[in-house]
Amino acid sequence: MGIHSSLKTKSGALNQHRNVLTRDERVAKLTASERFAAGKSSPLGLPKVLSIKVAAGKKPKKDPAAAGAAAPAADSKKK
């Protein structure tokens, strides 16, 4: 008997952007921004931490002039 399709995990699911951070991740971000001191601050009742999703850059569009110049050269090689 196989596993139901709704229960399967996607590859790379652990690497996706998450809106909610664990306490350890929040403490690490607050420590980096100097808003949390390890010996002085309490790990309970931490302030909210913004979690920004980093978007991948878009691919640059090809110039039509460059694409047009490359096409005739390819045609002449076929002959």
Please compute the mean of the pLDDT values over residues 5-27 and round it to a whole number.
Answer: 80
User: How many structural domains is the chain composed of?
Assistant: 1
> Is the model's pLDDT at 75 over the cut of 70?
no
CA distances from 72 to 21, 43, 61, 66 (A): 54, 66, 20, 11
Higher-pLDDT residue of 36, 16: 36
Residue 70, in any domain of the structure: no
Residue 9, in any domain of the structure: no
Mean pLDDT of the chain: 78
The answer to whether residues 30 and 46 touch, using CB atoms and an 8 Å cutoff, is: yes
Instruction: Please give the pLDDT value at position 31.
Output: 92
Residue 69, in any domain of the structure: no
Residue 67, in any domain of the structure: no
Residue 12, in any domain of the structure: no
> Is the model's pLDDT at 12 over the cut of 70?
no
Structural domain harbouring 34 = 19-54
State the pTM of this model: 0.48
Residue 25, in any domain of the structure: yes
